[in-house]
Structure 1
Amino acid sequence: MRPNHHQFTAFAYVVREGSFSAAAERLGVSQSAVTQQVAKLERNVGAQLLIRGRDGVQVTPTGQDLYTLADRLVALDSAIAEQLEGFASMKDGRIKIIANAPQPTLKIIARFTERFPGIHVDFGLHDWTTATGMIRKRLADVGLITDPPRSEDFVHHRLQTTRYVAYCRQDHPLAGRSRLRLADLQDETIILPEEGSLTQRVVKATLRKRSLPMPRTVTMTTFPVMCEAVLQGIGIALFLRDSSLIDEGMVEIEVEEFDTLHEIWLVATKDRARLRLVSEFVATATSTVF
């Protein structure tokens, strides 16, 4: 028996939402109904598509291949719904956005929700490796990524150019400097984002290129926590300029070796970029002044 539309839809939502219960909530059906549809799809395909665990689901290689097609079907279904059910009014709907840094994403979301207060925004902040992987696997509608991989399957809109800088507390001995060298930080505790971040990749690559040892480091999960760590006197943080609006009590200092400019791009799959929800978010992003 050939798989039907409901089986593909249930499977796609389980993968996107990360669990059967979340998929059921999005679809407005019972969890058992979603479970049955996915089980039927696995029987029809003749292979396991999902690995169930206590922390959610993992997608098998066969499942990932099928998900790409299933997600395109869901995107097409959403496009039809917009035409037939009046989403063109932008009074209802849901959009999933991910990013590897809070700025400029939060500024864009603020403008978007002001324009369309009825739209539910699901926003997730992830390290660079996770965020790029989620975009590649079609687990979000839109991604705002620093230096993202290029793909012909995606539309790309450049939003902002920035560079890495150091942030330290106003009363730190280095706070009066307008420019630093990495050698000046060798005796400092350096605060970095978690493993998998673009910042860690850039810092480690730059230190190797300059044959400098890795200074003492502390890793933090989010930019606000990094800022709080600076204010608490834990050390000096390295991250992209304007990554956070938290600046009271801190000073920003350029680092000589971080002279490369990095670009923040909005990326979305071409089929999802045609959806009204996504296209309006893209329009909001590209018209925002940073």
Structure 2
Amino acid sequence: MNLFQLRAFDAVAREGSFTRAAARLFISQPAVTGHIKALEEHYQITLLRRTARRVELTEEGTKLAAITRAMFGLAEEAQVMLEANRQLLTGRLEVAADGPHMVMPMLASLRARYPGITVNLRLGNAQETLAALLSEHADVAVLTEVEPRKGLHLQALSESRICALVPEGHPWAQKTKGVQLKDLDQVIMVLREPSSITRRTFDEACAQAKVQPRVLLELDSREAVTEAVAAELGVGVVSSVEVSHDPRVAAVPIIGEGLVNRHMIGCMERRRDLRLIQAFFGLAPER
């Protein structure tokens, strides 16, 4: 069995691209292609399906990828352990986050302390971020409202509060102390999709308080919600950590039960002692 061929396959499986796999391995793209072609021909198996946009794994490829990810993951852990006493002069950290607002200051601190570290940041919704961490496509993740589970190490980061987003000229814009949740009953609203953590927290709080807003629009991004509110299509909701400095809108705290979200940093339990992951956890502000 040729480990060079397996490593090339593992890189393509992780990156979903021959070009990015070549960059990951610091070899040429033809070399990556050659290794995988030789692997497939030797074992008379099709591992990858090339499409116009990306590379997809076949059923056999998916099974092999699970093995190679674990195999080379252990090799990477062995390398980190052997170099544990060295300073963090170089390295690569795969970070996932369900929003940019909290992770960006942490990356700035990481850059200031360890300028030689390369970071690959993937942003997605809450489900995508957790999936990236559990599948080990990310080393660490900044997550919201994740329940503890076996094999997952979580550290509290901060809390945020759900706010109402209103046009700048709205009567509530001057209520700096906040508005009552009950005041949103029958109010026309423009909200994120139901899978959004902010939307889910808001919906649960409304159900508990027996408040029934009138949802006019469901939108797939916080930027779209801001634009809809600025256009006076309705009242939106936004997390207090995601409030943008947009003069067209104002964020007002909503007063009520169940309107707080917990944010945390996570990694796989078996990898929590890796030096680079510890460095990232050390960036969390003291609470």
Q: TM-score, normalised by structure 2?
A: 0.81
Aligned to 1:137: 135
Aligned to 2:280: 281
| Cα RMSD for the two superposed structures | 3.3
Q: Distance in 2 between matches of 1:180 and 1:55?
A: 49
Aligned to 2:95: 97
1:250 Cα deviation after fit: 4.4
Summarize the Cα distance change of 1:57–1:236 in structure 2 as closer, same or farther, 3 Å threshold.
farther
Q: Give the 3-state SS of the residue equivalent to 2:283 in structure 1.
A: helix
1:114 Cα deviation after fit: 0.8
Q: 1:153 and 2:151 equivalent?
A: yes
Show the 5 A alignment for 1:173-252.
173-177=171-175, 178-181=178-181, 184=184, 186-192=186-192, 196-205=195-204, 210=210, 212=212, 214-221=214-221, 223=222, 226-227=225-226, 230-231=229-230, 233=232, 235-244=234-243, 246=245, 250-252=249-251
Larger radius of gyration: 2
Summarize the Cα distance change of 1:253–1:38 in structure 2 as closer, same or farther, 3 Å threshold.
same
Q: Distance in 1 between matches of 2:273 and 2:37?
A: 31
Aligned to 1:53: 51
Summarize the Cα distance change of 1:203–1:151 in structure 2 as closer, same or farther, 3 Å threshold.
same
Q: Distance in 1 between matches of 2:195 and 2:36?
A: 32
Tell me which amino acid in the other structure corresponds to 1:278.
Answer: I
Tell me which amino acid in the other structure corresponds to 1:277.
Answer: L
Aligned to 1:74: 72
Q: Distance in 2 between matches of 1:125 and 1:107?
A: 15
Q: Is contact 1:90-1:119 (8 Å) kept?
A: yes
1:225 Cα deviation after fit: 5.8
Deviations 1:135-173 (A, max 9, x none): 222211111111225332222112112232222233222
Summarize the Cα distance change of 1:4–1:271 in structure 2 as closer, same or farther, 3 Å threshold.
farther
Show the 5 A alignment for 1:19-58.
19-41=17-39, 48-58=46-56
5+ residue gaps, structure 2, are: none
Q: Is contact 2:47-2:57 (8 Å) kept?
A: yes
1:197 Cα deviation after fit: 2.6
Q: Distance in 2 between matches of 1:271 and 1:8?
A: 24
Moved more, 153-162 or 29-38: 29-38
Moved more, 125-134 or 31-40: 31-40
Tell me which amino acid in the other structure corresponds to 1:243.
Answer: E
Summarize the Cα distance change of 1:162–1:82 in structure 2 as closer, same or farther, 3 Å threshold.
same
Q: Distance in 1 between matches of 2:21 and 2:46?
A: 18
Tell me which amino acid in the other structure corresponds to 1:167.
Answer: L
Summarize the Cα distance change of 1:142–1:51 in structure 2 as closer, same or farther, 3 Å threshold.
farther
Tell me which amino acid in the other structure corresponds to 1:154.
Answer: L
Summarize the Cα distance change of 1:163–1:17 in structure 2 as closer, same or farther, 3 Å threshold.
same
Summarize the Cα distance change of 1:37–1:114 in structure 2 as closer, same or farther, 3 Å threshold.
same
